[in-house]
C-alpha cells in the first residue's frame, strides 16, 4: 500500500491471535515484527540465571535497567519470527523454555520493570517501519502510533486455540483447565495497577471469533488500509 504509516500497534488479550496476525502483516508490509512480551521473557531469563527472586522488584528493576535487549529481523532460517539478543547473546528460542514461561508474568507485574521495558521498546520503535504487539502498546508504549488495532476473541475461542496447540505438542491438559487459565489471565491483565489491558481510545477494535487466521489477517490489513485512506 502507499505507506504513510510507519508504526502499527496491535494489542489484545492472550490468545487473540495478535502475534500471528502481527507477524504476517509485518511480512506483507516489509516491517519489523516485535512482540514486546519477549522483553519481559528476557528479564525473566536473566533473573533465573542470576537467581533473583520474582518478588524482588527492586533487584529486577536494576537488572532490567542494565540489560541490553535487541529485536532484529530473523538472522537464522530456523522458523523464528525475529532474533532476540540479550547482551549480545542470541536467546530467541531459550526464551520459550518452560521455566521462563512460568516466571514471566510475575516479573512483568513490577512497575519499575515495565517502565524500563517501555523505554527500551520505544528505543527499538524509534526508527519506524515496525508492527509492535503487546497489551499496552497503543495506550502506553506507542500512544502516537499511526494505526492501532485491538484484537479480541471470546475466551472459549482463545482457549480452544491454546488447547489445540498444547495437544499438538503432546500435552494432555484438559480444555476446561485451559479455559480457566485464559479467564484468570484476562482478569489479571485487565485489573493490574500498571498498564492494564484495555483498548486505546482511538484503537480500531476487531473481534476475530470464528474467523480463520487468513480471514483475520485480511480484515486487519483492510482496517490499516482504511487508516491510510483516511490520511
Residues 69-107 have pLDDT tens digits of 999 999 999 988 899 999 999 999 999 998 998 899 889
CATH of domain 37-127: 3.40.50.300
pLDDT at 148 over 80: yes
Predicted local distance difference test score (pLDDT) of residue 2: 47
Map out the domains of the chain as residue ranges. 1-31+129-226, 37-127
Alpha-carbon distances of 162 from 17, 156, 177, 180, 182, rounded to whole Å: 10, 10, 11, 12, 9
Q: Which of 51-60, 122-131, 162-171 has the lowest mean pLDDT?
A: 162-171
Q: pTM value?
A: 0.89
What is the pLDDT confidence band of residue 182, given thresholds at 50, 70 and 90?
very high
Exposed, middle or buried: residue 84 (CB in 10 Å: 0-12, 13-18, 19+)?
A: buried
Beta bridge partners of residue 84, listed in sequence order? 71
- CATH class of this structure's domain 1-31+129-226: alpha beta
Predicted local distance difference test score (pLDDT) of residue 70: 92
Sheet containing 7-11: order of strands: 32-35, 130-134, 7-11, 147-152, 204-207
Q: Same fold for the domain at 1-31+129-226 and the one at 37-127?
A: yes
Predicted local distance difference test score (pLDDT) of residue 215: 94
Amino acid at each position: 500500500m502507499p505507506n504513510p504509516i510507519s508504526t502499527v500497534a496491535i494489542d489484545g488479550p492472550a490468545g487473540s491471535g495478535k502475534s500471528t496476525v502481527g507477524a504476517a502483516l509485518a511480512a506483507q508490509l516489509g516491517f519489523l515484527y516485535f512482540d514486546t512480551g519477549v522483553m519481559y521473557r528476557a528479564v525473566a531469563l536473566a533473573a533465573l540465571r542470576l537467581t533473583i527472586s520474582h518478588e524482588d522488584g527492586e533487584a529486577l528493576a536494576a537488572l532490567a535497567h542494565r540489560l541490553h535487549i535487541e529485536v532484529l529481523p530473523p538472522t537464522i532460517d530456523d522458523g523464528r519470527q525475529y532474533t532476540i539478543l540479550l547482551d549480545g547473546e542470541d536467546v530467541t528460542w531459550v526464551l520459550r523454555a518452560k521455566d521462563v514461561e512460568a516466571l514471566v508474568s510475575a516479573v512483568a507485574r513490577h512497575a519499575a520493570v515495565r517502565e524500563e521495558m517501555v523505554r527500551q521498546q520505544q528505543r527499538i520503535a524509534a526508527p519506524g517501519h515496525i508492527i509492535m504487539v503487546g497489551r499496552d502498546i497503543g495506550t502506553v508504549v506507542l500512544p502516537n502510533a499511526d494505526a492501532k488495532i485491538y484484537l479480541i476473541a471470546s475466551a472459549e475461542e482463545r482457549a480452544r486455540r491454546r488447547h489445540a496447540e498444547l495437544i499438538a505438542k503432546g500435552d494432555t491438559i484438559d480444555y476446561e483447565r485451559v479455559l480457566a487459565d485464559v479467564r484468570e489471565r484476562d482478569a489479571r491483565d485487565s485489573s493490574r495497577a500498571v498498564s492494564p489491558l484495555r483498548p486505546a481510545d482511538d484503537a480500531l477494535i476487531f473481534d476475530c471469533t470464528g474467523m480463520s487466521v487468513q480471514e483475520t489477517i485480511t480484515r486487519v490489513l483492510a482496517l490499516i488500509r482504511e487508516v491510510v485512506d483516511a490520511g
